[in-house]
Amino acid sequence: MWVACASPSRGVAIMRGVGREVFSLTLDRLHDMPEPCVRCIFWELDPALAAGSIAGGEPGLDKESWLSSALLEWGSVGQILYVDGVPGGYVTYAPSYLVPRANAFPTAPVAADAVMLITARVIPGFAGQGLGRVLIQGAAKDVMRRGVRAVEAFGYLGDPDAPKSACVIPARFLTAVGFKTVREHHTYPRLRLDLRTALTWREDMAAGVERLLASVRSPSLAQGRRASDSGAAAPRESSA
């Protein structure tokens, strides 16, 4: 059972279960994200600015700057889940106007009534424990409280070993957790999750979700950045 509570060492937890705590992503907790995600600016900067940041060796600082601005502009844009005090996974989300890279995708734009799911990842060592379900449902509850009706995301259907796959969530994960394709594309389909669906998932989906999340190598919201190992931009391919 999960309950809201406070933790004297980390502040106010959004939820707490046996050995598990979920906290909003803040500047203090940013460095609890795994590498290379903590320095990934794929989504947070537009392609030109991201390339300059990477060339200048400052993606980590730009990541912090983006998070600070997003928190001031919109409030919480992510959650981190800890297992016995160790980071076990995280999720990030925001309105698409805070995610510059989103405009570079061939299936853009994200619908006006939806928030964009940027990243979702469970650390491989914690796969199969239901953490991904907890994170996605926690994000859904957070944005529902703000009056948001849906979450959308760009999925990836290309080569899983290609550099560009590092920062875009696999489409197979999104469909596994209830997202439906709203605009098809051979590489970057756009998918949508009705938030009422997210809050009524069956418990037995959890293990499969965890395996998929753990396989994500690394992804990031309306003024964007990029992962240091990815190129300058997600290629704008023609719609299939």
Kindly report the CATH number assigned to the domain that includes residue 187: 3.40.630.30
Number of structural domains in the chain: 1
Give a yes or no: residue 127 inside a domain. Answer: yes
Straight-line distance from the first to the last Cα atom of the chain, in angstroms, rounded to the nearest whole number: 45
Domain extent at residue 205: 33-78+86-214
Model confidence at 69, in pLDDT bands (50, 70, 90)? very high
Q: Is the pLDDT of residue 17 over 80?
A: no
Could you give the 3-state DSSP secondary structure of residue 86?
A: strand
Model confidence at 213, in pLDDT bands (50, 70, 90)? low
Which of 60-64, 73-77, 96-100, 200-204 shows the lowest mean pLDDT across its residues?
A: 200-204
Q: Which of 2, 216, 12 is nearest to 117 (CA)?
A: 216
CA angle 62, 60, 75 (to 5 degrees): 60
125-177, pLDDT tens digit by residue? 888 888 887 888 889 889 999 999 999 999 999 998 887 777 898 898 888 88
Give a yes or no: residue 239 inside a domain. Answer: no
Give a yes or no: residue 232 inside a domain. Answer: no
Model confidence at 64, in pLDDT bands (50, 70, 90)? very high
Q: What residues are paired with 12 via a beta bridge?
A: 6
Give a yes or no: residue 3 inside a domain. Answer: no
Give a yes or no: residue 236 inside a domain. Answer: no
Give a yes or no: residue 233 inside a domain. Answer: no
Q: Give the per-residue pLDDT at 132.
A: 81
Give a yes or no: residue 5 inside a domain. Answer: no
Give a yes or no: residue 52 inside a domain. Answer: yes
DSSP 183-230: E--SS--EEEEEHHHHTT--GGGHHHHHHHHHT------BS-B--TTS
